[in-house]
Chain A
C-alpha cells in the first residue's frame, strides 16, 4: 500500500487528470462531429424518399457498428500515407478514437433529432428542447466510451491507471487504484446525470404543461 501511496502522491494524479482531459476532448470531438452528421441524417430522414431510405439504412448500420471494431478498422484500414484533397490524412490516436465514436453519436443525434423535430412539428417547442438533455447524456456516454483508446495507446485516463497498475506489486494495491479511477470517472458522470435529470425534469414539467404532446424518449443506452 505504501508503494501505491507514494506513487499516487508523487506523479499519478497530474498524469491521471491530464488523461481524463483527453477523455473529455475525445468525447467533445466525437459529439461535435456526430451533431453535424446526425443533423444531416435527420434532415434526410425527414425529407423522405430515397434520401430518407438511405439515411435510415445508414443510421441502422451506424447503430450496429461496434465502436471498438470501428476504431481498429480506422487504425488499420487507412493507409499511413493516405491523402485527402491533396493533404496528408494520417489520423492521430485521439482522432482515431473520436471518429470511431462518431457512428454512435451521429445515429444517437439523428434519432433524438427526428424525435425533437416531430415534437416541434407537433407544436411543442419545449418537447423539442428535450433534445438538449439527451445530447448531454450522449456526451457522458462518449466520455466513458473513450477509454477504448487505451487499446491503441492513447494516453487517456484509463491508460494512465493501467500503466500505474503495472508497477504495483499486489492485487490489493491494484484494486485500490482501480477504485480511485472509478471515483474520478464517477464524479463527473454522476454530476452530469444530475444535471441532465434537472434539465429533463424542468423540460418535462414544461412539456406536461403543453397539452397533447407526449414527452420524448428519455432513456438511452451507453455505447461500447
Chain B
C-alpha cells in the first residue's frame, strides 16, 4: 500500500522543495525590487493618481493630491542668497531653485516660485501660500514643532570662522580673547561665548565681508553657505580663508504638518533617490557650492540598509535635527508671567532673557559676582598703587622720584584700552588664558592707571607740605598721613574713576556684567531691556561707590594738616 503511494509522495516532496527553492531564490530579489525608494515612489504616485479626478474636489485631501490635481507645485525660495537662490531680472538661479525644479519634474508637475525670507518661510507654509519651502532653513528641534521636515536633508551648513590667511587661528584653542564678528541672534554665538570669544555683533550678515576687508573684524563667524559666495571672489579668497567650522546644521525642505503625510513621504523618497543617484551632488557642483556633505550622503544612501522605502525613518541613515533649545531655568515660567504682567500693566515690553535659560542665568550670576570682585580689586589696587606712587614720587631720593614720575607720565599717556591690552598680553605670556587671569590683569591695569594719578596728587601734597614745613614741623609718616588728608579729594576721585572703568575690562575678556549681558543678548531676545538694566546697574554701583568714597574722604580729611 505504502509502496504504491511512494511515487506520489516523492513527486509531492519534489514539488514542495522546488517551490520552496524557487521562493527562497526569487523572493529576496523581488522583495528588494519592491522595497526600493523608486518603486515605492512609483506606487505612491500611481495610488494617488488612481483617486483622481474624484479626490481633487474633496476637502482635506493630502497635499500631494492637490499638487497632482493642479499640475503645479508652489515652492518658496529665497530671492537673494547667492549660489543658493537668486532672482535677477525675473530669472531664478541657484542650488535650491534647481532642486525645486528637479522635484517638480520627478512629480510630473510645473513649478511656481514664491519669494520667502527667513522670517516668512514658515508663516507662508502655514497660510497655505506655498506647498514647499526650500529656503536655507536649518532643521532644528525648535522648528520641528512648527513644520514637517523632509528627510534626508538636502544640504548641511556649519558656522564658519573666517579670517586672514596669515593669521594663526586653527581651532577653539586660538579663540579666547579674540574679537569675532557675528550677527545678532545667531544660535552659534552661544558656542563662541562659551569659548571666551569677544563678540562684535552686527544686524546683517551682509556687513561681515566688508568689515573683514576693512579690518574692522579680524575674524567673522557666519554660516559657511553665506561665505561660499564670497569665496568665489578671487580678491576675497586671496586674503581670507575658513579657519575652522562648528555647529553643523542640516538643511531641510519643509511642508506643513497637516494633510501632508503622502506628500512628505513622496518628497522623502525623492530626496533619497536624489542623494543615491548624485542628483543633489550634480546640482551643487553646477552652482559651485561645497559638496563635502553631499558626497558623504551619497555614500550613505547607496548603502543597502538605507536604500529602502523606509530609509528616511532609519536613524542609522538620517541625521538628527540640530538641538538648538536652551535648558530653561526652574523659574523661567514665573519670569515669563512677570514679563506678561508688566507688559499688560504698563504696555512696556520687558524681556529678561538672563533669567529664563540656564546658560544665560549662569553667565548673568557669574557676571555680577565678577563685577563686584573687579570693583573691589580695582579699588584696592588703586589705593595700594596710589600710596606706593605717592611715597615714591614724594621721596627725596631722586632715582626713586624720577622713576615713579616716568612711570606716571607713561601711564597717563596710554589710553586705558591700550593699558588693559598690555596688561593682558603680559599676563597671558606668564599664565594660560582664564577668566581669573583676565580679571587680574584688568585690576592691575585699572589700579596702575588710577593709582599713578592719585599718587601724583599725594606727592604734590607732600611737596606742598614740605614747602610749608618751616611754619609747620612735620615729617616721615606724619607728613605722609597729612598729605593723604590734603589729597583726599583727588584720591577719592580716582577711586570713583577706577570703579567707572571696570566695564572696560570686558575688552580683554574679563567676564564681568557688561561682557555677560552682551553674550546673553547675542543669542537671545530682549536686547533693549538688557542694556537698560545694565546702565541702571552700573550707574547705581558707581553712585554707591561715590557714597562710600565720600565716607573715606571724610576719614582722610580728619588727618588733614592745617595750612
Q: Which residues of A contact B (CB under 8 A)?
A: 60-61, 63-70, 72-73, 76-77, 79-80, 144-148, 150-153, 155, 157-158, 161-163, 165-167, 171, 174-175, 178, 181-183, 185-186, 189-190, 219-224
Contacts and interface: CB of A to CB of B under 8 A. Distances in A.
Interface in B101-160: none
Nearest to B542: A64
B363 interface: no
Contacts of A186: 409-410, 412-414
Contacts of A190: 409, 412-413
| A-B CB proximity, top 3 nearest | A186-B413, A224-B501, A147-B415
A161 B422 CA distance: 12
Contacts of B518: 72, 76
Contacts of B413: 182-183, 185-186, 189-190
Chain A interface main SS type? helix
8 contacts: A64-B500, A66-B503, A66-B504, A72-B503, A153-B200, A155-B214, A186-B410, A224-B497
Interface string B153-179: 000000000001011000000000000
Contact of A73 (B215, B493, B531): B531
Nearest to A143: B415
A147 B417 contact: yes
Contacts of A157: 415
Contact of A155 (B216, B446, B453): B216
Interface in B383-428: 409-410, 412-418, 421-422, 425-426
Contacts, number: 148
A162 B540 CA distance: 32
Interface in B450-468: 453, 457
A167 B239 CA distance: 13
A62 B530 CA distance: 20
Q: By CB atoms of chain A within 10 A, which of B167, B412, B425 has the most? A: B412
A181 B425 contact: no
A66 B538 contact: yes
A175 B422 contact: yes
B538 A162 contact: no
Contact of B414 (A70, A80, A167, A185): A185
Contact of A175 (B214, B425, B493, B539): B425
A64 B217 contact: no
A123 B166 CA distance: 66
A166 to B, nearest CB: 6
A171 B218 contact: no
Given A72-B514, A166-B167, A175-B422, A182 B414 contact: yes
Q: By CB atoms of chain A within 10 A, which of B166, B417, B422, B496 has the most? A: B417
B274 interface: no
A151 B415 CA distance: 13
Contacts of B215: 155, 163
Contacts of B500: 64, 66-67, 223-224
Contacts of A185: 413-415, 418
B535 A65 contact: yes
Given A147-B417, A147-B418, A175-B422, A153 B543 contact: no
B422 A178 contact: yes
Nearest to A103: B539
A160 to B, nearest CB: 9
B370 to A, nearest CB: 15
Contacts of A167: 164, 166-167
Contacts of B429: 171
Contacts of A72: 503, 514, 518, 531, 534
Contacts of B514: 68-69, 72
B527 interface: yes
A222 B498 CA distance: 10
A104 to B, nearest CB: 9
Contact of B543 (A64, A76, A174): A64
Contacts of A146: 415
Contacts of B297: none
Nearest to A65: B539
Nearest to B184: A76
A77 B416 contact: no
Interface in B505-562: 506-507, 514, 518, 521, 527-528, 530-532, 534-535, 538-540, 542-543, 546
Contacts of B412: 186, 189-190
A147 B501 CA distance: 13
Contact of B528 (A60, A76, A163, A178): A76
Contacts of A222: 453, 497
A69 B512 CA distance: 12
Contacts of B218: 163, 166
Given A65-B542, A66-B500, A223-B500, A178 B421 contact: yes
Given A77-B528, A221-B497, A153 B534 contact: no
Nearest to B169: A166
A153 B501 contact: no
B480 interface: no
A162 B425 CA distance: 11
A184 to B, nearest CB: 9
A146 B415 CA distance: 8
A144 B535 contact: no
Contacts of B543: 60, 64
A69 B418 contact: no
Given A64-B540, A69-B538, 16 more contacts: A64-B543, A66-B502, A66-B504, A76-B521, A148-B417, A148-B504, A150-B417, A151-B507, A178-B421, A181-B414, A181-B418, A185-B413, A185-B418, A221-B494, A222-B497, A224-B416
B203 interface: yes
A68 B167 CA distance: 29
Nearest to B487: A219
A217 B166 CA distance: 52
Q: By CB atoms of chain B within 10 A, which of A76, A80, A163 has the most? A: A76
Given A76-B521, A80-B203, A70 B421 contact: no
Contacts of A148: 416-417, 504
B211 interface: yes
Nearest to A164: B215
A135 B203 CA distance: 37
B490 interface: yes
Contacts of A224: 416, 446, 497, 500-501, 504
B394 to A, nearest CB: 16
A158 B417 contact: yes
A44 B414 CA distance: 36
Q: By CB atoms of chain B within 10 A, which of A66, A76, A175, A219 has the most? A: A66
